[in-house]
């Protein structure tokens, strides 16, 4: 089934009501930026967190409740729904909203499969001629174990489906590779996401995040950024949903930026359009910048988290016309300008993340940190405690984000703000942005 194409000329007016689906730092950052728009009268966040409550109204419905989200959108008479996380998109939230006549920023079920299935994404890349690692897919663990021997070491083992950013295992020994196959396919650590695995060659290089707004045809890139996936300094430890990010990423210079658009973003969007899968929303390419050029590690069907946090504080102007243009297929008329400053986001996480962690830890210092120059605190895993205090309520708790005149200054601003905030067991990396400083002695 192809996408339902929404009307091209949605009326823009000055009293819009916008509903943001999600509860993380990405959604708080989007709510923060959207609430600044002169076009917006009211912001709703579903379910939101303690931070989003200060920007609008939190609606206590689960992101998994597709029917409930549609019903709330109707009841509140919202003009646009902005979907943050990938799971409801893969589950068809955009389809259900469209069928109810509600405008949505985010791809429909079929287009969102570019993140929902790594096999599907790899197959699309093959058809589009998009550069990526050599790969094979398996739905039989015995065959996957045999393939590990063929690929050699190091090798990357990936759960095919959604695994909250934790289903990718880089293996440096054959034992680790066989254990990864067992963990994903036999022990079902990631549930049904591990019914199939992708085994691919390990790529050497530096990672970068490249996010673009797409209306089915036009590709409008955002500024470059770089994520830090591993939980500990020096990229040690297991993968997480992201421990910090910065923008711009100096690894992506002007020439490489154009190469990514021409060889990766436009071909994949065009290929999807040809097969009747019109992509509308934010398209995120996780890249490895190799010696022979950029190659795709994965595609995501939404804004990155934590990349969104530094991007929104660097974005000049109103984000709402951009979101509407994606949904209305009028993106060719839009432009984005960026502040010359650099931005850094440092994630403060709960002790034990990405494994087991405790909730309910009282957080102090958020208000004081927000008073510092050029600092924004985007809350993620937070809630209100019994006395109205803000407490931890997730693995990634806060995204402390600072602007600066250059990456070094932004890092200094941001870590100063981190030092003001406290909660029991708070963990954060102390090397966010180091790669940017190391590259050509960037200041």
Class of domain 204-338 (CATH, top level): alpha beta
Mean pLDDT across the stretch 98-117?
96
Q: Indicate the CATH number for domain 342-441.
A: 3.90.600.10
| Mean of pLDDT values over 138-157 | 92
For the domain spanning 16-106, the CATH number is 3.40.50.20
Q: Where are the domains of the chain?
A: 16-106, 140-195, 204-338, 342-441
Q: Is the pLDDT of residue 3 over 60?
A: no
State pLDDT tens for residues 191-226: 999 999 999 999 999 999 999 999 999 999 999 999
pLDDT of 7 above 80: no
* DSSP β-ladder status, 382-384 and 390-392: antiparallel
Read off the pLDDT band of 13 (50, 70, 90).
Answer: low
Q: What pLDDT is attached to residue 365? A: 98
* 46-101 pLDDT, tens digit each: 999 999 999 999 999 999 999 999 999 999 999 999 999 999 999 999 999 999 99
Q: In whole angstroms, what is the distance from residue 78 CA to residue 74 CA?
A: 7
Alpha helices in 200-315 (DSSP H): 254-260, 266-274, 308-314
Average pLDDT for 381-394: 97
Q: Are 321 and 234 within 8 A, CB to CB?
A: no
Q: Per the CATH hierarchy, to which homologous superfamily does domain 140-195 belong?
A: ATP-grasp fold, A domain (3.30.1490.20)
365: which residues sit within 8 A by CB, 6+ positions away?
420, 421, 422
Q: Supply 112's token pair.
A: 């969102």
């Amino acid at each position: 089934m192809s996408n339902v194409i929404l009307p091209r000329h949605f009326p823009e007016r000055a009293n819009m009501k916008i509903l943001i689906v999600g509860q993380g730092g990405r959604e708080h950052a989007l709510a923060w930026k959207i609430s600044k728009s002169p076009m917006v009268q009211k912001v709703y966040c579903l379910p939101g967190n303690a931070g989003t409550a200060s920007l609008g109204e939190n609606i206590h419905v689960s992101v998994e409740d597709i029917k409930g989200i549609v019903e709330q959108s109707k009841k509140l008479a919202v003009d646009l729904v902005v979907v943050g996380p990938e799971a409801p998109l893969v589950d068809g939230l955009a389809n259900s909203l469209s069928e109810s006549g509600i405008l949505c920023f985010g791809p429909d079920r079929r287009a969102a499969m570019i993140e929902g299935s790594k096999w599907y994404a790899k197959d699309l890349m093959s058809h589009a001629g998009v550069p990526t690692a050599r790969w094979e897919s398996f739905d039989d663990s015995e065959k996957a174990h045999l393939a590990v021997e063929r690929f050699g070491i190091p090798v990357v083992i990936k759960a095919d489906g959604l695994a909250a950013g934790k289903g990718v295992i880089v293996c440096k020994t054959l034992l680790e590779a066989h254990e990864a196959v067992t963990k994903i396919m036999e022990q079902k650590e990631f549930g049904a996401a591990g019914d199939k695995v992708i085994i691919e060659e390990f790529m050497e290089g530096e990672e970068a995040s490249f996010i673009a707004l797409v209306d089915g045809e036009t590709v409008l890139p955002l500024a470059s950024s770089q994520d830090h996936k591993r939980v500990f300094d020096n990229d040690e430890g297991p993968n997480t949903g992201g421990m910090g990010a910065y923008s711009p990423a100096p690894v992506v210079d002007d020439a490489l930026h154009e190469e990514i658009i021409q060889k990766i973003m436009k071909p994949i969007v065009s290929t999807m359009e040809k097969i009747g899968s019109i992509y509308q929303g934010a398209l995120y390419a996780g890249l490895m910048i190799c010696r022979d050029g950029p190659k795709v590690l994965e595609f995501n069907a939404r804004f990155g988290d934590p990349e969104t946090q530094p991007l929104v504080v660097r974005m000049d102007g109103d984000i709402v016309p951009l979101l509407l243009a994606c949904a209305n297929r009028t993106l060719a008329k839009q432009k984005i300008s960026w502040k010359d400053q650099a931005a850094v986001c440092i994630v403060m996480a709960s002790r034990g993340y990405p494994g087991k962690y405790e909730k309910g830890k009282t957080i102090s210092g958020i208000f004081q940190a927000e008073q510092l120059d050029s600092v924004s605190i985007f809350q993620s895993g937070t809630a209100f405690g019994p006395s109205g205090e803000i407490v931890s309520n997730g693995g990634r708790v806060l995204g402390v984000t600072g602007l600066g005149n250059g990456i070094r200054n932004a890092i200094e601003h941001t870590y100063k703000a981190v030092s003001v905030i406290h909660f029991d067991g708070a963990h954060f990396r102390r090397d966010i942005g180091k790669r940017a400083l190391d590259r050509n002695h960037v200041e």
